[in-house]
Amino acid sequence: MATSAPTPGWTSTSASSSCSRSACDAGLRPGPARPVNPPIHIVTAVILDARGRTLVVRKHGSDTFIQPGGKREQGEDALHTLARELREELGVALRAGSARALGTFEDRAVNEPGRRVRSESFLVQVDGTAQACAEIAELAWIPLHPPHGVRLAPLSEHHVLPAARQPAAGTGQTGAGRR
């Protein structure tokens, strides 16, 4: 008799009267719960230039561009995180009072395989000229509308940039279902 590989999330066992009929037929029972990694929480920026292009960055060792920003440190709120990350990664200062919430979005993380990333995203203005610092290898100013001309992270391509293109962008309003 041929046997099939166990179903993911199930462990192989011998049939017993305590398991359900369909699971017993397959010789399977529920296995231990597998830990699910929570999403990585970050804060990201959409920075537009005078031509309406947005700034994206590429980290060393990656071929994918992402929004500038990063992870919160202990005790930081979203805008303090964003100000710190923009200073460290781009050498620019977040302009006081310029941040407008675009929403909170979640998608596959490109620089941490098997993980998801959840971002609080803001349309912001900065003071200074952006340059690649710290872990940033390259900057690119790309059109806000596709085609973008570079490989973008799913979070940027499918969530953040579409939110920035909306007429209500920068008003703090978010659309239903954006996550």
pLDDT tens for each residue of 132-169: 999 999 999 999 999 999 999 999 999 999 999 987 56
Q: Is residue 4 part of a domain?
A: no
Q: Is residue 170 part of a domain?
A: no
Decide the pairing of beta strands 116-124 and 40-47.
parallel
Q: 20, 42 in Cβ contact below 8 A? A: no
Do 13 and 55 fall within a single domain?
no
Do 117 and 160 fall within a single domain?
yes
Do 47 and 117 fall within a single domain?
yes
Do 99 and 155 fall within a single domain?
yes
Do 129 and 143 fall within a single domain?
yes
The per-residue pLDDT for 111 is: 87
Do 98 and 27 fall within a single domain?
no
Q: How many domains does the chain have?
A: 2
User: How many Å apart are CA 25 and CA 120, to the nearest integer?
Assistant: 47
Do 115 and 159 fall within a single domain?
yes
Q: Is residue 50 part of a domain?
A: yes
The per-residue pLDDT for 36 is: 77
**Ranges under pLDDT 70 in the chain:** 1-35, 168-179
Q: What is the CATH number of the domain that holds 159?
A: 3.90.79.10
The per-residue pLDDT for 22 is: 44
State the residue range of the domain holding 22. Answer: 9-34
Beta bridge partners of 12: 28
Do 66 and 92 fall within a single domain?
yes
pTM for the model stands at 0.74
